[in-house]
Amino acid sequence: MALREIIILPDKRLRLVSEPVKRIDAGVHKLVQDMFETMYAAPGIGLAGIQIGVAKRVVVMDLSKKEEDHKPLVFINPEITWTSDEKTTYEEGCLSIPEYYEEVERPERVKVKYLDLDGKAHEIEAKGLFATCIQHEVDHTNGVLFIDHISKLKRDRVTKKFIKAAKTAGNKTARTAKQVEA
């Protein structure tokens, strides 16, 4: 396993639409291992391939609480197939937009189909934090960021801040572990 660098705003790669995985080979297994290592080290609760610069539709997630054992989840080629009319709001963050949090309203429940690491197809229903997180990650595979779901004023403000920070030498990406970042 290897710790990979997480790319951050305003890196243009975050806007790429990732390619579907055609074959789940050793390279995909290695990618998933690296993504878990990187996500746990950050720490975060979810990570999409593009966040380490790999434009493949691969998502890892772990929503377990600190005192619990890890519950690693892998989604290959995840696709949202249904969303509920009911909405819910979470304060979201993103490992690619460190130390920025904003409330985002999304469907409370979704159905998602995906392949597991053995290439087996699944369709599950997710709700609550799980539903929010999978929507956030599937957005990443489509080049969409959570700040696209907030007001233009707030989005422009945070984008400007990150553009400015990227120009400053030694842009540190220290994060607090208090909020969830995915």
CA-based torsion, 74, 43, 49, 162: positive or negative: positive
> C-alpha distances in angstroms, 101 versus 26, 42, 150?
36, 16, 11
8 binds Ni ion (CB under 5 A): no
Least gap, CB of 137 to Ni ion (angstroms) = 7
182 binds Ni ion (CB under 5 A): yes
Q: Which residues contact 181 (CB under 8 A, 6 or more apart)?
A: 42, 43, 44, 45, 93, 94, 95, 98, 175
Two tokens, residue 166: 């990227």
CB-nearer residue toward Ni ion: 24 or 133 = 133
User: Of residues 94, 115, 126, 134, which one binds Ni ion by CB under 5 A?
Assistant: 94
| 41-46: long-range pairs with CB below 8 Å, 24+ | 41/3, 42/6, 42/95, 42/175, 42/181, 43/177, 43/181, 44/95, 44/180, 44/181, 44/182, 45/133, 45/180, 45/181, 45/182, 46/133, 46/134, 46/136, 46/137, 46/182
Backbone angles phi, psi at 112, to 5 degrees: -135, 135
Number of residues binding to Ni ion, judged by CB under 5 A: 2
CB-nearer residue toward Ni ion: 45 or 115 = 45
45 binds Ni ion (CB under 5 A): no
For the chain, how many residues are written?
182
CB-nearer residue toward Ni ion: 42 or 94 = 94
CB-nearer residue toward Ni ion: 28 or 45 = 45
Least gap, CB of 175 to Ni ion (angstroms) = 12
Least gap, CB of 35 to Ni ion (angstroms) = 12
Stretch near Ni ion under the rule CB under 5 A, chosen from 5-13, 69-77, 94-102, 171-179 = 94-102
Stretch near Ni ion under the rule CB under 5 A, chosen from 58-66, 89-97, 115-123, 162-170 = 89-97
Least gap, CB of 93 to Ni ion (angstroms) = 8
Catalytic residue status for 137: yes
Least gap, CB of 120 to Ni ion (angstroms) = 26
Contact residues toward Ni ion (CB under 5 A) are 94, 182
Known catalytic residues?
137
